[in-house]
Amino acid sequence: MEELKNFSVTAERLQQLNDKELKEGGKYVVYWMQESMRAYENPALEYAIRWANDLDTYCVVVFTLIDDFPEANLRHYKFLIEGLKEAADRITERGIKFILLHGPRAEKIAGFVKENDVCAVVTDRAYTRHERKWRSDAADKLEVPLVQVEGNVVVPVETASDKQEYAARTIRKKIMGKVEAFSQEVTETKPDKPSKRVHLSGDMELNSVSGVLDQLKVDRGVKPLDEFVGGTSEARKHLTAFLRSDLKGYADGRLEPAEDATSHISPYLHFGHISPCEIYRKVNDSSAPKSDREGYIEELVVRRELAHNFVWYAPDTYDSLEAVPDWAQETMEKHESDKRPHHYTREELENGKTDDEAWNAAMKEMRERGFLPNYMRMYWGKQIITYTNTYQYAYETTLYLNNKYFMDGRDPNSYTNVLWLFGLHDRGWTERDVFGKLRTMTRGGLDRKYDVEAYIERVKG
Ligand SMILES: Cc1cc2nc3c(=O)[nH]c(=O)nc-3n(C[C@H](O)[C@H](O)[C@H](O)COP(=O)(O)OP(=O)(O)OC[C@H]3O[C@@H](n4cnc5c(N)ncnc54)[C@H](O)[C@@H]3O)c2cc1C
């Protein structure tokens, strides 16, 4: 693997995942797209085009679609395919062939490479266990190099820190010191040999979103959404509206649930429809007040990339209570048998049948909108600790509902923030019943800070 000369994708973003040799005289460099489903500011795509140009070969893009992505349902798939269609159309406009394969990811890409004259494969980076496994399986099966290019965080995870960080305060300086260098625009490379007419075919045509969805055997139990439509242009619409509003007074206003005054960009980040570097630059260069810009960058870069740091360095435990610090384990052990003030079944919770109207409104917003403002996510999750009889069941229920309904669920942010409810990246607080030393959130606190009636009214519509 080489760092390509005079090129905006630098060595820190690159890793060769196997030790196979480049196939001399091969006809194609494949970009195996999985996480960065976009045609703009996608370092893996630009790297593949540039590599193909240097080798005097064609670049082609291959996406492998599976029916059973863990915990994904129709809501997520529709958004994914919308974004993928826009990416495929733009890639084709750039003269590059886009191929959609359907079936087990590693086997499919290895089969495609074997049957066609491919000299090397480039892919993008992901963090969760199954995504890592697909890449390592493909790395083993392929007879050609597999190079991974990191494009979904601003600062590559190992460059930001070489270990699991304890909290935002321990990673902030490290990451913010590097953010300028790593947020530069990735310049577009023109393919020297356009591949769009080469004779290669996939398993499915991507002519329409519904046409692809109809062919998939996916969980259809959760209804798709109108508010969030996938794709880079939709992501940019949300971002532009947010920038035009001067970041909506983010520093002070972001937590007010009734106002919902945030960027709504998390689903697009999750599906790789927009680059975090693009968001960072546009926010940083905007004329919004400094406190709002800094407040936003704290979330987009420090908190989001702390979540990536956690999932990357805790691959076996990021979705388990085992991952929380010792003080949190000890306090949960001590308070495990405290009497909970309520007891609801998972079904009652899912249907919003508690005696707290604000909590029920949050659950309704999750189910029907696939989204919740940040403060309501915290409040919603903290209450589940008091609604169930063990921490383990509270944790499992929260993660299950989070990943089932949120458009941005199943993300490093999901695992990290659900564990935050149980002490991850936090500190011990004054000891209380049920919560022990975990940070407490109560309905009284919610009422004191925010206009809860206005929130409930907003959700009622
Ligand atoms: C219990 C709980 C569960 C959560 N589940 C998810 C989830 O499944 N997926 C998800 O993406 N986020 C999750 N979050 C984090 C956060 O609430 C959302 O990222 C944010 O509300 C998304 O809205 P936005 O894009 O308008 O955010 P904005 O406030 O506009 O922030 C911009 C971006 O910064 C990042 N960000 C914001 N807040 C956080 C945070 N606390 N931690 C890490 N990154 C952050 C996100 O990428 C977000 O898109 C959860 C938080 C809690 C407390």
Q: Which residues contact 170 (CB under 8 A, 6 or more apart)?
A: none
Residue whose CB lies within 8 A of the most ligand 1 atoms, among 278, 299, 380, 422, for a mutation test? 299
Residue that is written with structure tokens 């490290």 in the block? 174
Cα–Cα distance between 184 and 179 in angstroms, integer? 9
How far apart CA 145 and CA 228 sit, in angstroms, is 37
Q: Looking at residue 461, what is its pLDDT?
A: 87
Tens-level pLDDT at each residue, the chain (461 residues): 555 665 668 899 999 999 999 999 999 999 999 999 999 999 999 999 999 999 999 999 999 999 999 999 999 999 999 999 999 999 999 999 999 999 999 999 999 999 999 999 999 999 999 999 999 999 999 999 999 999 999 999 999 999 999 999 999 999 999 999 999 999 999 999 999 999 999 999 999 999 999 999 999 999 998 889 999 999 999 999 999 999 999 998 888 999 999 999 999 999 999 999 999 999 999 999 999 999 999 999 999 999 999 999 999 999 999 999 999 999 999 999 999 999 999 999 999 999 999 999 999 999 999 999 999 999 999 999 999 999 999 999 999 999 999 999 999 999 999 999 999 999 999 999 999 999 999 999 999 999 999 999 999 98
The answer to whether the beta carbons of residues 13 and 150 sit under 8 Å apart is: yes
**pLDDT at site 6:** 59
pLDDT tens per residue, range 395-419: 999 999 999 999 999 999 999 999 9
Which protein residue has the closest C-alpha to ligand 1 atom 29?
Answer: 262
Question: What separation in Å is there between the alpha carbon of 266 and the centre of ligand 1?
Answer: 6
Residue 298 CA, ligand 1 centroid: distance in Å: 11
Q: Is the CB–ligand 1 distance for residue 397 below 6 Å? A: no
273-308 pLDDT tens trace: 999 999 999 999 999 999 999 999 999 999 999 999
CB distance 148 to ligand 1 below 6 Å: no
Please tell me if the CB atom of residue 437 comes closer than 6 angstroms to any atom of ligand 1.
no
- CB of 374 closer than 8 Å to CB of 422: no
Q: What is the pLDDT at residue 3? A: 59
Which atom number of ligand 1 is nearest to the Cα of residue 264? 26
For the chain, domains (ranges, CATH) are 1-151 (3.40.50.620), 153-186+231-313 (1.25.40.80), 321-460 (1.10.579.10)
Q: Is the CB of 94 under 6 A from ligand 1?
A: no
Torsion sign over Cα 34, 12, 418, 228: negative
DSSP SS3 for 15: strand
Contacts of 418 (CB under 8 A, 6+ apart): 381, 395, 398, 399, 402
In which order are the strands placed within the sheet that holds 28-33?
A: 14-16, 146-149, 118-124, 28-33, 58-65, 97-102
Q: Which atom of ligand 1 is nearest to the CA of 266?
A: 49
Residue 15 has a pLDDT of 95
d(CA 66, CA 101): 9
pLDDT of amino acid 226:
84
Ligand 1 atom closest to 372 (CA): 21
Whole-number Å distance, alpha carbon 65 to ligand 1 midpoint, is 26
User: Which atom belonging to ligand 1 lies closest to the Cα atom of 270?
Assistant: 11
Predicted local confidence at residue 192, as pLDDT: 98
